[in-house]
Structure formats: C-alpha cells, structure tokens
Amino acid sequence: MIAGLIDYLFLVIKQFSARKMRTFLTMLAIGVGVGSMFLLVSFVLGLQDLVLHRIAPVETLSTADISPGNLSYINDSSFEQVAKMPLVNAAVPIIYLSGQASDDGGKAFADISVNATTPDYIKYDGIAVKEGRNFQQGQGECLITRAAIQLFSEPEMLGKYLNIRELIPANSNIANTSIPRVDGEVKVVGVLDNDEVPAVYIDIEKVKNVAPELNLSGIKISISDVSQINNLKEDIGEIGFEADAVYDMVEETSKLFNYIQAGFSLLGVIGLFVATIGMFNTMTISLLERTRDIGYMRAFGVSKQSVRSIFLTESALIGMGGGFLGIVIGLIVSIIINSSFRFLALKVGSEGFDLFIFKWWIILATLIFSILIGLITGIYPAKRASKISPLESIRYE
C-alpha cells in the first residue's frame, strides 16, 4: 500500500517536472480562489471580533440591565427582591441624575450627568478606566469622562475636587424632587474612556445621605448562568420591571455575522469553482497528451485501478499545492493589511486592531477543502484514463 503510493507520487512528480509552468499556473489559479475565500472568511471573523468587543467586552457578557419598565421607579425593597433571585450573582444599584459641577476654585461650572452607583458598576458595565483607578466606596471619590474634562478649565483633573449641586433625578416617584448638593466634595481618582457623554460616577451614598427617600433608576446584575437568561427575564417581568441582557445582543449579532460569513464563503466558492474549471481543463489536456503513455502502461500490465490512482493522486497534489499557495497568499495579504491598520491607528492615537483574524481551523479546513476539490475534479479524467484501450492508445496520434 505504502510502496504503491510512493510509486504514484514518483510518477506524478515526474509528470509535474515535465510540465512545470502549466502545473504552477494551475496551482496558482486554485491558490487565488482559495486565498480569496480564506481572506473573506478571515475578514468576517475579524469584523465580528472587532464589533463584538466594542459592543460587549468579555466581562459584560454575563450581565443585564434592569429598568423600571411600566413603573416609574425602583425602590429599595424591589432592589432586594432582585438581588435575592436564584440566578443573580450580584446586583448593583444606580441613580441617574443631572446637575451642575464646578472645579476646585469654582472657575468653571458645567451641566453634567451624574451617575450615583457603586464601584462594581464600572466593572460589570465594562467601562475602561484609562487614567487613574476606580473609585472606592465611602472615600468621597469619583470618576470623570474625557468629555466632561473638556468642560472645565483644568486639562488635568486627576486629584482635583468637584462640587456637585442642583441635582435632579432622571426618574422619581417624589414630585419636584431636587437635591441642592451631594454630601461634600468628591475627588477625581480616575478618567473614563468616553469622549461623547460628559458625566461623573460618584458613590451612591453621597446622594442617599442627603436624599434617603430617592429611588433607583436601574439595576445592573451579574448572572450566574446566561443560558437561563430568558427565565430570569420572565421572573423580572413578573414584578413589573424590564431586563436587557448584553448576551441577547451578542447572540443576535453573532447570528448576523454567521449569515455574512456564509455569503462571503459562497462568493469565495464561486471564485474557486472558476479556478476548478481551469484545473479540470488542465487534467483533460494532460490525459490527451499522455494517451500513448497510458496505453503502454496498460500493455505492460498496469491495472485500471492503478491508472485511476495515478490521476487522482495528481489532481489531489495539484489541489493541495493550490490550497497551500492560497493560504500563503491569504496570510501575507492579511498580515500586510493588519500591520497597516495598526500603524495608522497608532498614528492617530487610537487602539490598534486586526481587520483579518485567521485561526488554525480555517487553515486546516482550507487545506482539506482544496484537496477534496482536487480529488473531485480528477474523478472524471481518472475514470476516462482507466478505460483507455491499450491497442487504441498505441495507435493514437
């Protein structure tokens, strides 16, 4: 078996050596088709990874946001009820307010969004602290967004103190609720990566100390088993609230990218099909050119099965060579484009990213697929070659 395979390989390689340019061009045509398919799939995977990581960092996948729904508020007893639900690992309260903030010397006043919560909210929401650290509870600390820093006269806010006053809750069951100021100054200990919304995150106790009757705007929960998210949403709905899970959005987005990947793969297959026609033509021409040789082989006792095996080995090697070339082309192009995007991102001060992602299973699947394409393409020429009559082939001109 092994000796026979070695003989087939020897004959095929000898055939390739006699027609180097034709063999290379056939492999290259297959390689271009395979490389195109490889790049398209890698591009979809890269785009999917980029979008999902921007929408939902890993730490947020097992979280959900609870809002009042048809109700106007969430009180403390409802918060405790949610926190004790079986699938809830942790529950974090938050109160959305709007107010005015001034810096140390009162040189600048700004209208700003104030989010009163606990330090765990920053972790579960996946907010990136770009400078400094997260605030600690009971220490009179806060976080500020980059957008909020632009409202003040000081370009560097770390270590500065803010006075926050004239707070109005976003929703409350208490009419005309207004909080003159939070409980004392707050020290900026971290800057959040947000250039769009001017906001500060403060300790919820700073607000509760001056307005204990104030209700919650929402709850951020950590879920122990995201596969049971629908059951948890039903339980939350029964008490009148609504729950939006990041996992649901990620799942829907992943389905969309699966469809896109299938469509792009189909485009790649079409290109590969065109290259396969060229390979089929090459194998057919090779058969016609070697008719007399096949006749001599048959006359000297070579079986039909052996003739078939020679042609199938040849087509499989062409497919494998084309697949290897396609993978190399795809890797080189993707590395060049990824490096270019990283360089441009660093130039503008942004975070680098990969537009193409290639994984080991893509490389393996591409190579196997190329060999299968080669085998399938070689079936007809191999079958036709095995049926050649020795006497007729010797007379063939």
Instruction: Write the CB contacts of 341 (distance below 8 Å, at least 6 apart in sequence).
Output: 352, 353, 354, 355
Please answer whether residues 68 and 241 qualify as being in contact, where contact means their C-beta atoms are separated by less than 8 angstroms: yes
4-52 confidence digits (pLDDT tens): 556 666 666 666 666 778 778 888 888 888 888 888 888 878 877 776 6
Identity of the amino acid at 360:
W
pLDDT lower than 70: segments of the chain: 1-18, 51-61, 71-72, 104-108, 171-177, 183, 250, 348-352, 389-397
Residue 257's CB: how many other CB atoms inside 10 A?
17
119-170 confidence digits (pLDDT tens): 989 888 878 788 889 998 888 889 999 888 888 777 788 888 888 887 878 7
C-alpha distances in angstroms, 73 versus 69, 238, 356? 8, 15, 45
Q: Any bridge partners for residue 168, and if so which?
A: 98
Please answer whether residues 206 and 186 qualify as being in contact, where contact means their C-beta atoms are separated by less than 8 angstroms: yes
Please answer whether residues 316 and 386 qualify as being in contact, where contact means their C-beta atoms are separated by less than 8 angstroms: no
Please answer whether residues 171 and 73 qualify as being in contact, where contact means their C-beta atoms are separated by less than 8 angstroms: yes
Separation between Cα atoms, residue 155 and residue 380, nearest integer Å: 74
For the chain, percent of residues with pLDDT exceeding 90: 3
